[in-house]
Amino acid sequence: LLQFHYHALSEHTVNGKYFPLEVHFVHMHSDTDFVVLGVMIEEGAENELFKSYLDKFPTEKGEYKSENKINLMSLLPENKSYFNYKGSLTTPPCTEVVDWYVLQNSIYASKEQIEKFSQILNDNYRPVQALNGRKVYSFKE
């Protein structure tokens, strides 16, 4: 894992639905290519992991280094069914060097947690792009 970060609004849709947050787990696949796992976050029950570190989050965009170990598995839904496609980075220069895996099921965070992320991230998303002939594969668990 190279890094993980959040976007407030989702940069992907699942069955045409946007989500208030999306987390990306960025992995280096080679010197030039990446594998990114996208997980949608929607409003629901309070997220225990967010509860433990959101209060220590910076008040503006930037890097956050946790003093505690974070169990990243808690940011994954129980059902790991996913979509897969070849695409691009979502930040400039948006080069087409990413093998995307987008989970079909989301995790949850409370309305207050989502609002706090959204205030910090302030619309740091790239609009959903046209498929432009790409094939999207679906894998069911």
> pLDDT tens across 23-48, in order?
999 999 888 899 999 999 999 999 99
CATH code of the domain containing 40:
3.10.200.10
Q: How many structural domains comprise the chain?
A: 1
Please name the residue that has the structure tokens 């959204």: 118
**C-alpha separations of 85 from 17, 50, 61, 65, 99 in Å:** 18, 29, 29, 30, 6
Task: Name which of 49-53, 85-89, 123-127 the model is least confident about.
Answer: 49-53
Mean predicted confidence (pLDDT) in 96-106: 96
Contact present, 51 and 36 (Cβ < 8 Å): no
Structural domain including 107 reads 3-139
Decide: pTM greater than 0.85. yes
* Residue 57 pLDDT exceeds 90: no
Mean pLDDT value across the chain: 91
Query: Euclidean distance between the first and final Cα of the chain, in Å?
Result: 23
Q: Which residues contact 73 (CB under 8 A, 6 or more apart)?
A: none
* Residue 79 pLDDT exceeds 90: yes
